[in-house]
Structure 1
Amino acid sequence: MNTRRTFLAGLAGAVSVLSVMALSPAAAHAEGLKIGFSQVTLQSPFYVQLKNGAEAAAKASGDTLVFLDANGDVSKQNNDIQDLITQGVSAIIINPVNPEAVAPSLEAAAAAGIPVITVDRPVTGGKVAAHVGRDNKAMGKLVGEAVVAKLKADGVTGAKVIEIQGDAGGAVMMDRRDGFHAALEGSGHTIVEGPYAEYIRANAVTAMQDLLQANADVKVVYAHNDDMALGAMQVLKENGRDDVLIAGVDGLSEALEAMADGKYVATALNDPQYLGDVTIQVAREAAAGKTVPAFVDAGTALVTPDKVGEYPHKELFAEYRPQVLDK
């Protein structure tokens, strides 16, 4: 019998809210747990802060967090998850390198009776107890609407908008792209889809240098995260292009500070430390055998230059920590 095919076929009937598997008596008490975390990479400040938030939350709960960095390598991530299973962790948090490639690991975790929680990036198949993240399509749409409003206020029509994208095929990338495009639909502005800069500032700098040469008439640059947007802004400043508007996503405090001159027009908050905190809370609930929502939205809000003062931004990312879990 083809057990792999049988497993995948069984996933087709998954419902929107999944019941977490009952674990051993020790796990059911959810005290002093060992929780595994397989992170996609640490090459972005967002992911570093997500790790820090998870570590702080685990420590506060008296739990041990076993953190492993896949460094963008699918094979390493699957091996790391297998290592966590072998260690007998009570729950596994996964930020997947690829939404499909971790399917064997999800199957192995299920066979071992270990609940899996995905964070930031969802998977496309396989049984998970919950996904903790934010509505990235809504985030892209909020930023797009702010860009359209700013262009209208400035009396600009038919603007060329350069879009610097995240990672090819990534769910977050597609949602931030689709939400932004939806906001600009029918506005009369034109979007030029730039390369995938992998959410890394240095990559965006290189990309923007080429994009600016090919699109001298650009009026707006939208990047799928603030780190890339700030890289693009650096290139624009170096070329004396202070006429170009900038927008990003994630609520990087540096982006909020850059709004002082009015050229950085919008970002959507995506507090990674709070995301890590919420994920640990959900993992503890799952490890205790409780039913958790299929999707836990950690919340977002739009920041424009007139709203910068509403959000604390002394840390690397601006804080936005609404109550998202029942107490």
Structure 2
Amino acid sequence: MKVANLFTRTKAAVLLSSALLGASINAAHADSMALVLSTLNNPFFVTMKEGAESTAKALGYDLVVLDSQNDPGKELANVEDLTVRKVKAILINPTDSEAVVNAVRMANNANIPVLTLDRGAAGGKVVSHIASDNVAGGKLAGDFIAEKLGNGARVIQLEGIAGTSAARDRGEGFNQAAKAHNFAVLASQPADFDRTKGLNVMENLLNAHPDVQAVFAQNDEMALGAVRAIQASGKKIMVVGFDGTDDGKVAVQRGLMAATVAQQPEKIGEIGVITADKLLKGGDVEANIPVELKLITE
């Protein structure tokens, strides 16, 4: 009789444990949202992730973070995985504004709301886009160069990944300033937002254009690569970056870079999660949410 009672109690405990585990899994599933990043091999996006994670935790969400490794194919596979998981919302920082359209539409077909961070999508239904005003930032950088060197300065631009809205918009803003201040743009060449590529591209451009006075790099990683190339050449050339990463700000403080246009990646991640939360709770959200920029010069 005692053995039977023990068996009955054990069976009940197992059933209760299974029920609680199932409830826990379902609760986590019900409260999950996802963040798909273009790459985690860039301090800017790591900081964005950290802002999103801390905010999601505070709001009670399980945040799934996936790295697309700058590969649109990987990005599409990541979103497909998230549709299977049935997350409640997807925040995506696209690898490419055109290539991400298929991923956005896949999420649309699964009735999962999509929000874009930092870089936009060229198609599909995006509920909200949270980003700095990259056009204004590019112009801010160009105006700063003109303030220091005057009209007609000889400038090189290092471009980001072709096809991304950030590269296009920062380039557009810089070109507005270049036209307004009659810059001689000696070259405008992609280095894919990468420090090593920034170094290699800048070495080649220095050989081709030894009279350059300033460099505008569309992110701090490329700017830091350009700084290394300039140091090796022994020249004195002004470098202005973009993003306001920790490494970029240190370079400005040390006098290696003249300035960086500072975004707030942590804030972008934070606002992205807050906006998704508001949407999931039935609130109205803005189609475009700007995040403030500032120029760091010391």
Q: TM-score range by the shorter chain?
A: 0.7 to 0.9
CA distance in 1, matches of 2:141, 2:131: 18
CA change 1:59–1:146 in 2 (3 A) is same
Deviations 1:212-246 (A, max 9, x none): 111111100110011211111111112211x2111
The aligned runs of 1:127-142 (5 Å cut-off) are: 127-142=125-140
Q: Secondary structure at the match of 2:87?
A: coil
Question: Which amino acid in 2 is paired with 1:245?
Answer: M
Whether the 8 Å contact between 1:146 and 1:265 is mirrored in structure 2 is no
Structure 1 residue 123 and structure 2 residue 116: aligned? no
| Counterpart position of 2:281 | 288
**In structure 2, do the counterparts of structure 1 residues 286 and 234 end up closer, same or farther at CA, with 3 Å as the change threshold?**
same
For 2:105 and 2:241, the matched residues in 1 are separated by: 36
* Aligned equivalents of 2:152, 2:237: Cα separation in 1: 14
Distance 1:190 1:166 in 2: 20
Paired letter, 1:249: F
The one-letter code of the counterpart of 1:137 is V
Report what 2:221 is aligned to. 227
Q: Which residue does the alignment assign to 2:12?
A: none
Partner of 1:239: 233
Q: What TM-score results when the alignment is normalised by the length of structure 2?
A: 0.85
How many residues matched? Answer: 271
Identity over aligned pairs, percent: 36
Tell whether 2:158 aligns with 1:164.
yes
After TM superposition, the structure 1 stretch with the greater mean CA deviation from structure 2, 116-125 or 254-263, is 254-263
Determine the structure 1 residue equivalent to 2:243: 250
TM-align CA RMSD: 1.9
1:156-175 deviations in Å (ceiling 9; x for gaps): x6331011110112211011
Alignment check: 8 A CA contact 1:54 1:279 kept = yes
Superposed displacement of residue 32, structure 1: 7.1
**Is 1:298 the equivalent of 2:296?**
no
Alignment of 1:44-63 (within 5 A): 44-63=42-61
**C-alpha displacement of 1:60:** 1.7
2: CA distance between counterparts of 1:102 and 1:221?
A: 30
- Which residue is equivalent to 2:62? 64
Q: When the two structures are superposed, what TM-score results if normalisation uses the length of structure 1?
A: 0.78
Q: What letter is aligned with 1:285?
A: K
What CA deviation, in whole Å up to 9, does each residue of 1:159-202 have, x standing for no partner?
31011110112211011111011112142321133431111111
- The residue type equivalent to 2:281 in the other structure is A
Q: How does 1:3-22 map to 2 (within 5 A)?
A: none
Task: Note the C-alpha offset of 1:109.
Answer: 2.1
Alpha-carbon distance, 1:260 to partner: 4.3
Instruction: Kindly indicate whether residue 199 of structure 2 is the aligned counterpart of residue 201 of structure 1.
Output: no
User: Which runs of 5 or more residues in structure 2 are unaligned?
Assistant: 1-28
Question: Please, which moves more after superposition, 263-272 or 110-119?
Answer: 263-272
Contact 1:133-1:275 within 8 A present in 2 as well: yes
Whether the 8 Å CA contact 1:32–1:62 is kept in 2: the answer is no
The structure in which a higher percent of residues are helix is 2
Structure having greater relative contact order (Cα 8 Å, sep ≥ 6): 1
Separation in 1, partners of 2:253, 2:95: 36
CA offsets, 1:270-320, max 9 Å, x none?
121121111111111122232100001121112223xxxxxxxxxxxxxxx
Q: Which residue in the other structure is 1:75 paired with?
A: 73
> Which of 250, 259, 267 does residue 252 from structure 2 map onto?
259
2:266 corresponds to 1:273: yes
Aligned residues of 2:258 and 2:297 also touching (Cα < 8 A): yes
Cα separation, 2, equivalents of 1:291 and 1:274: 20
Matched residue SS, 1:249: strand
How far apart in 2 are the matches of 1:260 and 1:46?
18
Q: CA, structure 1 residues 87+211, in 2 after alignment: closer, same or farther (shift >3 Å)? A: same
d(CA) in 2 for partners of 1:72, 1:260:
30
In 2 relative to 1, CA 254–217 (structure 1 residues): closer, same or farther, beyond 3 Å? same
Tell me how far apart the structure 2 counterparts of residues 101 and 189 of structure 1 sit (CA, whole Å).
33
Task: Tell me which amino acid in the other structure corresponds to 1:289.
Answer: G
1:147/1:265 contact within 8 Å kept: no
Match of 2:142 in 1: 144
